[in-house]
Amino acid sequence: TQGTATLAHCELRYGGGENGGMVTTYGTTPTIRDCLFRDSGEDGIWMRPSTVDNTVYPANATIVDCEFRNNRDDGIDIDHDSTTPPTVATPVIHACHFEGNDHDAIVLHDNVFPDFDANTIPSVAGCRNSVNHQGDINASGTLEIPGPGVAYLIENVLMIRPGAVVTIEPGA
C-alpha cells in the first residue's frame, strides 16, 4: 500500500540480487537523499507498483543528490505496468550521479514519466550512459531531459498505444 519512509546519508554496497535492488519498493513513496549505491548484485534501486483492492499505487519515490556506481545491472529500475484505466508513475530524480553501472543508468518500463533535473551520467568505457525506456505506454506523459548530454535509449520494444500522447522534450 501507499507508504512513506526516508533514507538519508547512507552508503549501500554489495547488496541486491536477482530481480531486486539494494532498495526495493512496491507502491510506496520514499524519499531517498544523499545516498551512495554501489556494487549491487543487480540494481541500486528497484521500484514497482502495487495494487490493493483495485487501487494502483505507483512507484513514486523522490531521489535527490544520490550516486549510483558500479552496479551489476542498472542504477535505478522503475516499472509501472500499463493499467486500465491508465495510471502513471512520476518519480522525482534530481541531481543524481550515475557512473559505471553495467547496463543503464536508469531503466523505465511502461507508464513511467519521471521528473528529472540536473542528473549526470558521464561516458564510461563499456557502460551505457543512457536512460532506457521500454514496454507498453497507454497513458499520456512527457519524457523530460534526464540531464546534460544524456540520451534516451529505446531498447527492445516501446509501444505507444492508441490514445496515449507522449511528448519528448527537445534535446532528450
Question: From CA 166, how far away is CA 69, in angstroms rounded?
Answer: 30
DSSP bridge pairs for 107: 77, 132
Amino acid 123 reads: S
Q: Looking at 9-13, 26-30, 148-152, 164-168, which range is the least confident one? A: 148-152
Specify the DSSP class assigned to residue 54.
T
pLDDT tens track for 102-159: 888 999 999 999 999 999 988 776 667 788 888 999 999 999 988 887 877 777 788 9
